[in-house]
C-alpha cells in the first residue's frame, strides 16, 4: 500500500493533517522533521507533506530540512510553515507578514492549478500566520491569493511542489478536504485504498506473527480502545489471549455486564471478571480529595490486576489499547509534544512478568479504532461509547463516595444518557454525564419539604478534550431529563446544567 509521510514541524493542527489524509483513504504517518534521509527512503513514501509550525523560518535556529529531500522526485505539499520553508530553502525569501491573517479568510484561485480543480473560484479558508512568502523560488508561481497574502497557494507543477499558506486540514476551510484530495489523487496519483475493511486482515496477520505461540494478557477497562484491541487480538490468537476485567464498582449503570456480554456472548471470548467493588469502596471511604481518589484507584487497580495475572503463570505479552494520538503526543511519532494530564487506569503494571508490550492500535486514530471495532463485530453501543475516565464515577461523586451516592448517580446518569440518545444527539455531543454534587438544598414534593442532593448535568462538544465548549442542548430535552430524574431517582430534588466551557472549567468536576 502506498503511503504518505507527514513531516511534523510542531504546529497545533498536525494530527489533524494526518487524520484528514487518512480520511481521504490514504495511509500516512507523522514523523519529526529531524528524521534522517535514510529513514525517509526506508519509509518509502509516495508523497511528503510538511506541516505548519510555530517557528519563524528566517530566524537562525528555525527547523530546516536536508536539501536532498527536494531531490527525491516526490510530490511535496507544504502547509503554512511548510510552504515558507520550501521557498526559503529553494532560493526564495520570506518576511514578517504586512497583514497578520488569522481565522476565516476569503481566498481566490486563478483556475489554473490542479490543487484547486473543481473548487469554486472564491471560498473561505483558515489562515493563521505572521510570516509570508516575499519572493518565490525559481520554477514557482502563485495560483491563489487573499486580500492580505499574494502567495496563499503556490506551485512548481513540473517538480510537483505545492505550497499553501492556509490550513486545508481545519474544517473551517470550506474546501480544505478537496484541496487535500486534489493533491493526493490528481497530483500524486494515489487512490483511496486505506479502509478498516482492508486493514483488518493485515492487522490480524501482524498480531499473529508477533505473538507466535506466546500468551497475551490484556486489561479491559470497559472503554472502546481496550475492547477493540481485545477483539482484534482474539481474532488473531484466540485463547492465547486472556482478558482481565477489573470491575472497580465505579462504572455506569449496567456497564460491567454489558462489557462482559459483548466479549463473551458476541465474540465468544473468555474473560476474567474480578468484582472488586467492595475493596475499592473501603479504600475510598472518607476520601474527598480528587487527586487522592485518583491515586488510590490507580494503585488498587494495579494490585488487583497483578494478583489475577499471577494466577495465570507465565505471560509473554501485555497488550495495551494505545492509539496513534497517544503515540504522537508522547513525542515518539512527531514533533508536537503535548503533556497529557491523564493516564488511563489500566496503565502498565510494573511487576507483571512479561516479555514485551503489544499495542495493536498504535497506528490508528480514534475514528479508525471505532471502524475497526465494527469490522470485528463489536456491538455499536460499545464502539460508539463516549469517553469515560478511568477513575469512573468516583470523580463524579463530589466529596466522599458511598455506595448510596453511587447508586443515585448511576440512576440519574442513565436517564440523562437515555434521553440524549433518544434525541439523536449521542454521537454529536462528545461527552455528557451527570455529577452528584455534595450540596443539598430545600425543595417541596407534594406537600412535603425535602432536603436532598443537587445534581449537575454536563455536556460538551470538543475535538480533542483539551478545550471544550458546553453543549447547547435543547431546553425541551433538558426539561424532560430534569423531570424524569427528580421524579424517578430518590434523593435528588434539584438539577443544574453546567454552562462553562474548558477553559476555564474542566470537563469533569473533579
Q: Where do contacts with ligand XMP occur on this chain (CB under 6 A)? A: 294, 342, 344, 387, 389-391, 431, 465, 502, 506-508
Distance CA 419, CA 193 (A): 38
Instruction: Output helix, strand, coil percentages for the chain, rounded to the nearest 5.
Output: 35, 25, 40
Task: Tell me the three cell numbers of residue 428.
Answer: 454529536
Give φ, ψ of 46 to 5 degrees.
Answer: -90, -20
Angle at 98 between CA 94 and CA 102, to 5 degrees: 95
3-state secondary structure of 284: helix
Residue tagged active-site, from 88, 109, 129, 167: 167
Rounded to a whole number of angstroms, the minimum distance from the CB of residue 395 to ligand XMP is 6
Rounded to a whole number of angstroms, the minimum distance from the CB of residue 93 to ligand XMP is 43
80 is catalytic: yes
Which of 215/293 has CB closer to ligand XMP? Answer: 293
Distance CA 122, CA 499 (A): 37
Which of 362/502 has CB closer to ligand XMP? Answer: 502
- The 3-class secondary structure across 2-58, one letter per residue, is CEEEEEECCCCCHHHHHHHHHHCCCEEEEEECCCCHHHHHHHCCCEEEECCCCCCCC
Rounded to a whole number of angstroms, the minimum distance from the CB of residue 370 to ligand XMP is 16
CB-CB contact of 315 with 309 (8 Å): yes
Task: Tell me the three cell numbers of residue 101.
Answer: 491573517
Residue tagged active-site, from 80, 94, 149, 207: 80
Which of 85/393 has CB closer to ligand XMP? Answer: 393
Rounded to a whole number of angstroms, the minimum distance from the CB of residue 429 to ligand XMP is 12
Residue written as grid cell 453501543:
381
Rounded to a whole number of angstroms, the minimum distance from the CB of residue 297 to ligand XMP is 8
Which of 282/341 has CB closer to ligand XMP? Answer: 341
Residue 416 CB contacts under 8 Å (≥ 6 apart), including other chains: 432, 433, 434, 457, 481, 485
Residue tagged active-site, from 29, 101, 132, 169: 169
Rounded to a whole number of angstroms, the minimum distance from the CB of residue 4 to ligand XMP is 30
Which of 249/389 has CB closer to ligand XMP? Answer: 389
Which of 248/494 has CB closer to ligand XMP? Answer: 248
Task: Tell me the three cell numbers of residue 482.
Answer: 430534569
User: Which residues are identified as catalytic?
Assistant: 80, 167, 169
Amino acid at each position: 500500500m502506498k503511503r504518505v509521510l507527514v513531516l511534523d514541524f510542531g504546529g497545533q493542527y498536525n494530527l489533524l493533517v494526518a487524520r484528514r489524509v487518512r480520511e481521504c483513504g490514504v495511509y500516512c504517518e507523522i514523523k519529526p522533521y529531524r528524521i534522517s534521509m535514510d529513514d525517509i527512503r526506508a519509509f518509502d513514501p509516495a508523497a511528503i507533506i510538511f506541516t505548519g509550525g510555530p517557528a519563524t523560518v528566517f530566524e537562525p535556529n528555525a527547523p530546516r530540512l536536508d536539501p536532498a529531500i527536494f531531490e527525491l522526485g516526490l510530490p511535496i505539499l507544504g502547509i503554512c510553515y511548510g510552504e515558507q520553508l520550501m521557498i526559503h530553502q529553494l532560493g526564495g525569501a520570506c518576511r514578517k507578514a504586512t497583514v497578520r491573517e488569522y481565522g476565516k479568510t476569503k481566498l481566490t484561485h486563478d483556475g489554473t492549478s490542479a490543487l484547486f480543480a473543481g473548487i469554486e473560484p472564491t471560498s473561505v479558508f483558515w489562515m493563521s500566520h505572521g510570516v509570508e512568502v516575499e519572493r518565490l523560488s525559481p520554477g514557482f508561481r502563485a495560483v491563489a491569493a487573499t486580500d492580505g497574502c499574494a502567495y496563499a497557494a503556490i506551485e512548481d507543477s513540473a517538480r510537483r511542489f505545492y505550497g499553501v499558506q492556509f490550513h486545508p486540514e481545519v474544517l473551517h476551510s470550506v474546501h480544505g478536504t478537496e484541496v487535500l484530495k486534489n493533491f493526493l489523487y490528481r497530483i500524486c496519483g494515489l487512490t483511496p485504498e486505506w479502509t478498516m475493511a482492508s486493514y483488518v486482515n493485515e492487522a490480524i496477520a501482524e498480531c499473529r506473527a508477533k505473538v507466535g505461540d506466546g500468551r497475551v494478557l490484556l486489561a479491559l477497562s470497559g472503554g472502546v480502545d481496550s475492547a477493540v484491541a481485545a477483539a482484534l487480538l482474539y481474532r488473531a490468537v484466540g485463547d492465547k489471549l486472556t482478558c482481565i476485567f477489573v470491575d472497580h464498582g465505579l462504572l455506569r449503570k449496567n456497564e460491567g455486564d454489558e462489557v462482559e456480554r459483548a466479549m463473551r456472548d458476541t465474540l465468544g471470548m473468555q474473560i476474567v471478571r474480578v468484582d472488586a467493588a467492595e475493596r475499592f469502596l473501603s479504600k475510598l471511604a472518607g476520601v474527598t480529595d480528587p487527586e487522592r481518589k485518583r491515586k488510590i484507584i490507580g494503585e488498587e487497580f494495579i494490585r488487583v490486576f497483578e494478583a489475577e495475572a499471577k494466577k495465570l503463570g507465565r505471560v509473554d505479552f501485555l497488550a495495551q489499547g494505545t492509539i496513534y494520538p497517544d503515540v504522537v503526543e508522547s513525542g515518539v511519532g512527531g514533533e508536537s509534544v503535548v503533556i497529557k494530564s491523564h493516564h488511563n487506569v489500566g496503565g502498565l503494571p510494573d511487576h507483571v512478568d512479561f516479555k514485551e508490550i503489544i499495542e495493536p492500535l498504535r497506528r490508528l486514530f480514534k475514528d479508525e479504532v471505532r471502524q475497526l471495532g465494527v469490522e470485528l463485530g463489536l456491538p455499536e453501543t460499545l464502539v460508539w461509547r463516549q469517553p469515560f475516565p478511568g477513575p469512573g464515577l468516583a470523580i463524579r461523586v463530589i466529596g466522599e463516595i458511598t455506595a448510596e451516592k453511587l447508586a443515585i448517580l448511576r440512576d440519574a446518569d442513565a436517564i440523562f444518557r437515555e434521553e440524549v440518545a433518544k434525541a439523536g444527539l449521542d454521537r454529536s455531543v462528545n461527552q455528557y454525564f451527570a455529577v452528584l454534587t455534595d450540596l443539598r438544598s430545600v425543595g417541596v414534593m407534594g406537600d412535603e419539604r425535602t432536603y436532598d442532593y443537587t445534581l449537575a448535568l454536563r455536556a460538551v462538544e470538543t475535538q480533542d478534550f483539551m478545550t471544550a465548549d458546553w453543549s447547547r442542548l435543547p431546553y425541551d430535552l433538558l426539561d424532560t431529563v430534569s423531570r424524569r430524574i427528580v421524579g424517578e431517582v430518590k434523593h435528588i430534588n434539584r438539577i443544574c446544567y453546567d454552562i462553562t466551557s474548558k477553559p476555564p472549567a474542566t470537563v469533569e468536576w473533579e
